[in-house]
Chains A and B, each alone.
Chain A
Amino acid sequence: DTAVSQTPKYLVTQMGNDKSIKCEQNLGHDTMYWYKQDSKKFLKIMFSYNNKELIINETVPNRFSPKSPDKAHLNLHINSLELGDSAVYFCASSSRGNQPQHFGDGTRLSIL
């Protein structure tokens, strides 16, 4: 009965590859988010979707493309991976913008 689930939990790949991270929430929330946590544990929002519509797009390289097939899913596709993309990526959801966000366990991406 996991609320926000991300797959995979770990992702190790080489520079230049393309990879995707999937996120699903079963809380019935309308809003979903992607955050990046760098090696210093600093968390920063990347994207937010509300009912499949992109509402926040921070300054993120266009190699990163979120896709929301329905309001329960928000996937993150990354093209041409770079060393600097190594981080933990967290998916989150909330019932509406200012309600508490529920986080997944994160996907640890390591670029070789």
Chain B
Amino acid sequence: AQSVTQLGSHVSVSEGALVLLRCNYSSSVPPYLFWYVQYPNQGLQLLLKYTTGATLVKGINGFEAEFKKSETSFHLTKPSAHMSDAAEYFCAVSEVYGNKLVFGAGTILRVKS
């Protein structure tokens, strides 16, 4: 069975600092990996995805993530945090031949001025 672990339920950074949100997954088949962001009282918005090919993927709002098979990780980064990045971030995995998303527990990002 697939699973996702997000280390740190809360992450706090200063504005302009590096953002690093950690995600590790387990999957018995090559995974598809996703990062979603959820702002308060809103739905989930796709930040980026990894399917096949280049392991460093770039998403919206300056975010990027790197798929590392040997570490079963898909950490999300952004070089410089902005106040508008404050939200909850979810990492998710799906099977190559399946179609359900398995989500991590989420990480709340707080950006301090």
Chain A residues close to B by CB (< 8 Å): 4, 31, 33, 35, 40-45, 48, 50, 55-56, 58, 90, 92, 94, 96-98, 100-106
Report which of A33, A43, A56, A102 forms a contact with B46, defined as CB distance below 8 A: A102
Q: What's the Cα separation between A56 and B96 when bound, in Å?
A: 15
CB within 8 A of A42: which of B32, B49, B97, B103? Answer: B103
Chain A residue numbers with a CB within 8 Å of B74 are none
Using A50-B99, A104-B43 as known contacts, list a sample of 11 further A-B pairs with CB atoms less than 8 Å apart, ordered by residue number in A. Answer: A4-B43, A33-B101, A42-B106, A48-B100, A58-B100, A90-B44, A94-B99, A96-B99, A98-B98, A98-B99, A100-B49
Which residue of A43, A50, A103, A106 has the most chain B CB atoms within 10 A of its CB atom? A43
Is B55 close to A, CB under 8 A? no
Instruction: Tell me whether B105 is interfacial, beta carbon within 8 Å.
Output: yes
- Tell me the residues in window 51-70 of chain B with beta carbons closer than 8 Å to chain A beta carbons: 51
